[in-house]
């Protein structure tokens, strides 16, 4: 169970300052010593609460201007095979199985990134053929209204 220190630390360390001792600044805000904060963070990493410690860069840097969420309608018995085939593609960053709702029947979601839409659609068509899944929708990112990977605990 997370206590109030854990919640504060986990919230704050998602956006560290570019400072000589960023964890010291977090420690001051939380009211613990820097050593205690570092020890706790190592514990969170060990326990799988933190997936990654790192710098998150902006997509525009990568030259991948065509970005789409591709949703696939996949039979239950094929979900694992399709999810694994999609995940093996380097042009995919995220892949999830999701529940369906109302008139929406597409249950596998994968984020594709390519230099152009043409290149993206070619990749999608190829993998669709290999997986034997013909019912899918390409949902291009038209506008980013919000992107803030931070989560508040």
Q: Would you call 105 helix, strand, or coil by DSSP?
A: coil
Q: What is the CA radius of gyration of the chain?
A: 20
Footprint on residues 52-111 left by another protein (CB under 8 A): 52-59, 61-62, 64, 69, 79, 83-84, 86-87, 92-104, 107, 109-110
Residue 98: CB minimum distance to another protein, A: 4
Using CB under 8 A as the binding rule, whether residue 127 contacts another protein is answered as no
Q: Which two tokens stand for residue 134?
A: 């013909």
Using CB under 8 A as the binding rule, whether residue 8 contacts another protein is answered as no
Segment near another protein (CB under 8 A); pick from 119-127, 128-136, 141-149? 141-149
CA distances in angstroms from 44 to 38, 54, 86, 127, listed in the order given: 10, 15, 29, 37
Residue 10 and residue 56: Cα distance in Å, rounded?
Answer: 16
Question: Of 43 and 129, which has the nearer Cβ to another protein?
Answer: 43
Using CB under 8 A as the binding rule, whether residue 146 contacts another protein is answered as yes
Using CB under 8 A as the binding rule, whether residue 38 contacts another protein is answered as yes
Residue 140: CB minimum distance to another protein, A: 5
Q: Which two tokens stand for residue 125?
A: 């068509």
Question: Of 77 and 148, which has the nearer Cβ to another protein?
Answer: 148
User: What secondary structure letter does DSSP report for 19?
Assistant: S
User: What secondary structure letter does DSSP report for 47?
Assistant: T
């Amino acid at each position: 169970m997370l206590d109030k220190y854990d919640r504060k630390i986990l919230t704050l360390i998602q956006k560290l300052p570019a400072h000589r001792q960023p964890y010291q600044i977090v420690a001051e805000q939380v009211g613990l010593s820097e050593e205690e904060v570092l020890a706790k963070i190592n514990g969170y990493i060990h326990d799988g609460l933190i997936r990654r410690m790192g710098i998150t860069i902006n997509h525009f840097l990568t030259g991948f201007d065509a970005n789409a969420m591709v949703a696939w309608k996949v039979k239950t018995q094929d979900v694992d095979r399709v999810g694994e085939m999609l995940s093996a593609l380097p042009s995919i960053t995220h892949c999830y199985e999701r529940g369906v709702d109302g008139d929406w029947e597409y249950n596998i979601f994968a984020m594709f990134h390519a230099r152009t839409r043409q290149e993206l659609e070619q990749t999608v068509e190829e993998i669709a053929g290999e997986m034997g899944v013909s019912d899918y929708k390409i949902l291009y990112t038209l506008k980013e209204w919000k992107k803030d990977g931070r989560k508040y605990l």
